[in-house]
Amino acid sequence: MSHPHPELSAPPELAEGALRVIPLGGLGEVGRNMTVFEYSGRLLVVDCGVLFPEDHHPGVDLILPDFEPIRDRLGDIEALVLTHGHEDHIGATPYLLRERPDIPLVGSELTLALLDGKLREHRLKETVHHRVREGDRLVLGPFELEFVAVNHSIPDALAVAIRTGAGLVLHTGDFKMDQLPLDGRITDLRAFARLGEEGVDLFLTDSTNAETPGFTPAEKSITPVIDQVFRESAKRIVVACFASHVHRVQQVLDAAVAHDRKVAYVGRSMVRNMAIAKELGYLTVPAGVLVDAKELAPLPPERVVLISTGSQGEPMSALSRIAQRTHSFVHIEEGDTVLLASSLIPGNENAVYRVINGLARLGARVIHKGNALVHVSGHASAGELLYCYNIVRPRNVLPVHGEIRHMLANADLARLTGVPNVVVAEDGVVVDLVDGVASIAGKVACGYVFVDGSSVGDITESDLKDRRILGEEGFISVIVVVDSVSGKVSGGPEIHARGNALEGSSFDEIRQPIIDALHRSISEGTTDAYQLQQTVRRVVGRWVSSTHRRRPMIIPVVIEA
């Protein structure tokens, strides 16, 4: 990870009466959000999310925030506050609870309900829950919390105000300012203004869309587009969107009713989340519209809508399987319509276009962000951020939630409105609020933690480098037996290759050079098997690079017999 502060060392002990902010994820990437606040020896954690791996993380399932900087202080955590139910904010919670299962959790009704299913999957017991809603206040140790409604692409999102002896902090969580949201629950700017009047000492704001000028369009603006898609579709409609986007699903349900179609959910997380959202009253399902996916078969295609997961091209998702014709019961036919009603998260482009191409090849009409207004962002654009700065008038701003370019753009917006002090920090850079002024105090080591199957944190960057080499270049294995008495090669070299065009080629020309190099090393006094293996690696590496222009992984095995 690049770093604007390479010179920083570990922060000094926190000054009496000061507040420390330790970002462990989400500052420098869109994902794995986690921020630790420290005051008077106690810690408050806001969010604990995951980051989804990209093509250069082969085999990785998830990327977690790095808990290492607080690992020996888990007992000091007063609570984990979850601002909303998106994976990039709650997804790593089970992994934190594995390390200390009794951390109290704080969140809104829907957030905690979505988290609950996740905890059950991980076989974690119920912990202490503080279910809060906008306007609520909660005192946890030295932290006095107040929750503020914010509007986002999932219902029931909250901003959190944190009062300590060091001042008032306002963390927006993820938010936008849709003035006419489907559920009528707008970002509470009156509360923002009230807190601003009280004096916000440190304002942490969502940077995701800071580079986008103007205002994020209203969620309702895509209703006519969805309606038009329904009108123009003569056969089946498949809508893919995030499994947590309750309002998008609501729009599709309403369109289905208007156009006399039945709806089924496809994909485990879609089925589970929408059941929760309905049960808690965040989703209104008109009577008779919803059917089980397996009951759709007798219906004519023009009466059917499927709402599916997989809008990001995730290879195991329902939509990917449909595109590859490996889904067990959904098969695309000529004339079907597929609507990808979602954003395109950076890094997922190739996977998404692979899915779109697969669907198009099967004869589907594919409507997506690139050819129609079928998605609006869940995050505030530059115009909305400017409003917030002018309303809150904070003394210090720390941009959060974004890549460095987003955070720098957000910092510029804050400065334009006259915020006196703006601090840009990436993951691991510690910011202290002392006497009302925020500044960088140091840096803690903070890397990526990879989840691969059941292993957490065992896979390292160097393992991933190996996987990339294996994936791109394959490998050559060389087995040699050396007689430990005579010091001569007594067997091999036996050479095999996989995953490259070298498999069929003759390795004859390199056998003798390997033997010669080994004899030379041994005569110079090298007897250690590891060092002899390095000799083999060098000879083979040089040969394969100069004669074949390849750099496969070379696996030398020297056996002393």
Q: What are residue 139's DSSP bridge partners?
A: 144
Helices (H), 262-381: 268-279, 318-323, 349-361
Q: What are residue 79's DSSP bridge partners?
A: 44
**How many residues interact with Zn ion (rule CB under 5 A)?**
3
Instruction: Tell me whether residue 426 or residue 452 sits nearer to Zn ion (CB atom).
Output: 426
CA angle 236, 238, 241 (to 5 degrees): 165
Instruction: Tell me whether residue 88 or residue 146 sits nearer to Zn ion (CB atom).
Output: 88
Piece in contact with Zn ion (CB under 5 A), picked from 167-175, 176-184, 260-268, 434-442: 167-175
Residues 491-530 that bind Zn ion (CB under 5 A): none
Q: Select from 403, 327, 398, 397 the least CA-distant residue to 359.
A: 327
Residue found under tokens 């601090």: 423
Piece in contact with Zn ion (CB under 5 A), picked from 35-43, 86-94, 125-133, 501-509: 86-94
Piece in contact with Zn ion (CB under 5 A), picked from 88-96, 113-121, 128-136, 455-463: 88-96
Instruction: Tell me whether residue 47 or residue 201 sits nearer to Zn ion (CB atom).
Output: 47
Task: Give min distance, CB of 150 to Zn ion, in A.
Answer: 10
Piece in contact with Zn ion (CB under 5 A), picked from 115-123, 172-180, 223-231, 445-453: 172-180
- Cα distances (angstroms) measured from residue 348 to each of 20, 56, 135, 343: 34, 12, 37, 10
Residues 528-557 that bind Zn ion (CB under 5 A): none
Piece in contact with Zn ion (CB under 5 A), picked from 14-22, 79-87, 383-391, 456-464: 79-87
Piece in contact with Zn ion (CB under 5 A), picked from 170-178, 277-285, 446-454, 531-539: 170-178
Alpha-carbon Rg for the chain, nearest whole angstrom, is 28
If one asks whether residue 174 binds Zn ion (CB under 5 A), the answer comes out as: yes
3-state secondary structure of 377: coil
Piece in contact with Zn ion (CB under 5 A), picked from 166-174, 232-240, 446-454, 459-467: 166-174
Task: Give min distance, CB of 26 to Zn ion, in A.
Answer: 7
Instruction: Tell me whether residue 142 or residue 181 sits nearer to Zn ion (CB atom).
Output: 181
Instruction: Tell me whether residue 144 or residue 211 sits nearer to Zn ion (CB atom).
Output: 211
Question: What character string, x for contact with Zn ion (CB under 5 A) and - otherwise, covers 246-285?
Answer: ----------------------------------------
Task: Give min distance, CB of 135 to Zn ion, in A.
Answer: 21
Q: Are 192 and 170 in contact (CB under 8 A)?
A: yes
Instruction: Using CB atoms within 10 Å of the CB of residue 299, give its burial: 0 to 12 exposed, 13 to 18 middle, 19+ buried.
Output: middle
3-state secondary structure of 367: strand
Q: Rounded to whole angstroms, how far apart are CA atoms 247 and 267? A: 18
Instruction: Tell me whether residue 47 or residue 452 sits nearer to Zn ion (CB atom).
Output: 47
Instruction: Tell me whether residue 209 or residue 251 sits nearer to Zn ion (CB atom).
Output: 209
Residue choice 86, 176, 235, 467 for contact with Zn ion (CB under 5 A)? 86
3-state secondary structure of 408: helix
If one asks whether residue 171 binds Zn ion (CB under 5 A), the answer comes out as: no
Piece in contact with Zn ion (CB under 5 A), picked from 65-73, 169-177, 295-303, 337-345: 169-177
Q: Rounded to whole angstroms, how far apart are CA atoms 168 and 161? A: 7
Task: Give min distance, CB of 174 to Zn ion, in A.
Answer: 4
Instruction: Tell me whether residue 38 or residue 174 sits nearer to Zn ion (CB atom).
Output: 174
Task: Give min distance, CB of 88 to Zn ion, in A.
Answer: 4
Residue type, 395: R
Q: Are 390 and 219 in contact (CB under 8 A)?
A: no
Q: φ, ψ for residue 128 (rounded to 5)?
A: -70, 125
Task: Give min distance, CB of 407 to Zn ion, in A.
Answer: 14
Task: Give min distance, CB of 210 to Zn ion, in A.
Answer: 14
Task: Give min distance, CB of 357 to Zn ion, in A.
Answer: 29
> What tokens does 201 get?
């000492």
Q: CB neighbours of 185 closer than 8 A, spacing ≥ 6?
A: 149, 151, 155
Residue choice 88, 384, 432, 452 for contact with Zn ion (CB under 5 A)? 88
Instruction: Tell me whether residue 236 or residue 379 sits nearer to Zn ion (CB atom).
Output: 379
Piece in contact with Zn ion (CB under 5 A), picked from 8-16, 82-90, 121-129, 454-462: 82-90
Q: Rounded to whole angstroms, how far apart are CA atoms 492 and 508? A: 11
Q: Rounded to whole angstroms, how far apart are CA atoms 108 and 134? A: 8
Task: Give min distance, CB of 82 to Zn ion, in A.
Answer: 11
Task: Give min distance, CB of 404 to Zn ion, in A.
Answer: 16
Q: Are 103 and 129 in contact (CB under 8 A)?
A: no
DSSP per position, 39-84: ETTEEEEE----B---TTSTT--EEE---GGGGGGGGGEEEEE---
Crossing angle of helices 508-523 and 529-548, in 10° steps, is: 140
Question: What character string, x for contact with Zn ion (CB under 5 A) and - otherwise, covers 30-69?
Answer: ----------------------------------------
State the CB neighbour count (10 A cutoff) for residue 259: 17
If one asks whether residue 206 binds Zn ion (CB under 5 A), the answer comes out as: no
Piece in contact with Zn ion (CB under 5 A), picked from 4-12, 80-88, 367-375, 411-419: 80-88
Instruction: Tell me whether residue 146 or residue 174 sits nearer to Zn ion (CB atom).
Output: 174
Instruction: Tell me whether residue 27 or residue 476 sits nearer to Zn ion (CB atom).
Output: 27
Task: Give min distance, CB of 557 to Zn ion, in A.
Answer: 47
Q: Select from 431, 435, 436 the least CA-distant residue to 27.
A: 431
Task: Give min distance, CB of 208 to Zn ion, in A.
Answer: 7
DSSP per position, 200-226: -SEEEEE-TBTTS-S-PPPGGGGHHHH
Instruction: Using CB atoms within 10 Å of the CB of residue 177, give its burial: 0 to 12 exposed, 13 to 18 middle, 19+ buried.
Output: buried
**DSSP classification of residue 68:** G
> What tokens does 305 get?
């809508």
Instruction: Tell me whether residue 191 or residue 380 sits nearer to Zn ion (CB atom).
Output: 380
Instruction: Tell me whether residue 399 or residue 492 sits nearer to Zn ion (CB atom).
Output: 399
- Cα distances (angstroms) measured from residue 122 to each of 85, 90, 452, 473: 17, 13, 15, 37
Binding site for Zn ion (CB under 5 A): 86, 88, 174
